Structure 1
């Protein structure tokens, strides 16, 4: 049987802490191969992503569309699937819901970076953007860090309130904030997960701040003001998720920073990054390797004897 998992089934197979551990293990695995992804522009401003990856046991292809025009329509901006194959037999093992994988693995990458790099792991956590990524990051950080509280900023009051209520069901005190720049002074943990169609944070962060910026994944997309990025570069540390960020990290590119000089999450996991004082900016752009890690975690959850 080759199960096709819906969004709920995919979410149940991707517990946040286990997924973060799967991502860490993947970064230490020399058998992992991740070819360049294909991004095909579509009429109307959308994009088709074809993202393959493999290791010694499984191969995956993530096939999704990204349609920014769906914002506010009730249709998701990201739609598609992750198909998982057995390398030895060629058998299709299962299919995961693409948007759920994207949200969960992105949040787990941020969680792993925070576990490794954040000075103030109790927070409070400021989440800017209350959509699918905001919810996934809330759940991951609530599971993997000892959060003392959450502040939520969103251009949609209803979305912000809904995320606050969800945080409270997780046992985390939460409030809506109107001005994320003002909240920045009170939050050593920050996640920006917006559509990245404009700057959402301008103020300079605390000296002990950890910021995970996940919204922008093209040179023209942006969430963080250039001055904020340059301040962190001068006074703290910048880490990118992978070397591909050199072509994709809009926040850093628009700040005029040399993205190629910054260490990656793999460098952090392998112990090659020396601790520095000052704020930390973790810039995440996405990578099919993260989807491969999600497929590994799902395989372990669905077929424990095969993991």
Structure 2
């Protein structure tokens, strides 16, 4: 079995190809050709947790294994550590192991782009990015490379981190700048992406009537990056209804009518006269799609 380090995993998952792989996985999910089990959570010592996320289709199976240890930050170790293993679904032969953190960051950004495509939205315009961590960087890079975003405003809790990300994006040819207050540009932004771990809303309430909002940070019912009032103004799209019902605090706190929410697998494009909210919480099928792409990418080299 071949093992890819972080740099090799990133190289095997080009954003454009990853978006296409996810779109194809949506279709396979819709046809019932791929499936995933419910995520398993096992408590570990000192408040840690072990997460197991399996998925399979007719040809491949994948298992993502993640550990989360909040206390690691104090001793200089990663809080989140993970790997994804790809197997032959017929024989069980282990084919490829990949860096789970890199795979998750890249497929989450690609998932935002794929969700926007399913919602019928062009996300090549002016972009406001809230957050400056790993997910923010992957979204900035993906939207620049795939959608062609060339104007980017970045706001983060730590100004220096936002400026560092802006410098990185300027080196890639994007007109990127750090801003102190996202409300200054929220009505000018065509696309607003939130990648924070905030428990309270971070996206300003005043947005363009045709804005595309993407929220990927909140992953518990008590967390929300988008206010209930703004959620209720939007046409809402999610990666999976099951996951969103359990984990999308933005939608849960808004008391949303779930019958109006569209999952990516069978979504119809939204009208252009109201904002769109794309909310993702992650799913093992997306990891399977990424792992398959990485394996194919390496086989073709």
Q: Same fold (TM over 0.5)?
A: yes
Equivalent pair of 2:18/2:107 in contact (CA under 8 Å): yes
Report the RMSD for the aligned CA atoms in angstroms: 2.0
- 1:296 equivalenced with 2:296 (yes/no): no
CA deviations over 1:190-235 (Å, ceiling 9, x no partner): 1100113332124232111101100012212221122221232xxx
Per-residue CA distance 1:263-283 (angstroms, 9 max, x = gap): 111122xxx445352110001
Q: Please name the residue that 1:146 is paired with.
A: 148
Distance 1:187 1:72 in 2: 38
Unpaired runs of 5+ residues, structure 2, are none
Aligned partner of 1:96 among 95, 98, 118: 98
1:257-272 equivalent positions in 2, closer than 5 A: 257-259=256-258, 261-268=260-267, 272=268
Partner of 1:241: 239
Inter-CA distance 140–73: structure 2 relative to 1 (3 Å threshold):
farther
Match in the other structure for 2:220: 218
- Alignment size in residue pairs: 297
Task: Tell me which residue corresponds to 1:286.
Answer: 282
Aligned to 1:182: 184
- What SS class does the counterpart of residue 197 from structure 1 fall into? coil
Q: How does 1:81-160 map to 2 (within 5 A)?
A: 81-117=83-119, 119-160=121-162
TM-fit CA distance, 1:44: 5.1
Could you tell me which residue of structure 1 aligns to residue 232 of structure 2?
A: 230
Question: 1:104-158 CA distances to partner (integer Å, 9 max, x unpaired)?
Answer: 1110000112234364533211111110000110111111112131111101122
Name which of 199, 206, 211 aligns with 1:204. Answer: 206
Residue 54 of structure 1 corresponds to: 56
How many Å apart are 1:173 and its aligned residue? 0.7
CA drift at 1:298: 0.3
List alignment gaps of at least 5 residues for structure 1: none
- Tell whether the 8 Å contact from 2:270 to 2:276 is kept in structure 1 after alignment: no
Q: Distance in 1 between matches of 2:75 and 2:120?
A: 36
Q: Is the 8 A contact 2:210 2:272 kept in 1?
A: no
CA displacement at 1:62 relative to structure 2: 0.3
Shift of the 10–227 alpha-carbon distance from structure 1 to 2, 3 Å rule, reads same
Q: CA deviation at 1:257?
A: 1.4
* Superposition TM-score, scaled by structure 1 size: 0.90
Partner SS for 2:34? coil
- Per the alignment, in what secondary structure is the counterpart of residue 2 of structure 2? coil
CA distance in 2, matches of 1:197, 1:274: 28
Q: Which residue of 1 aligns with 2:13?
A: 14
Q: What's the CA shift string for 1:15-62, capped at 9, x where partnerless?
A: 001001000111112321111111334455543211000111111110
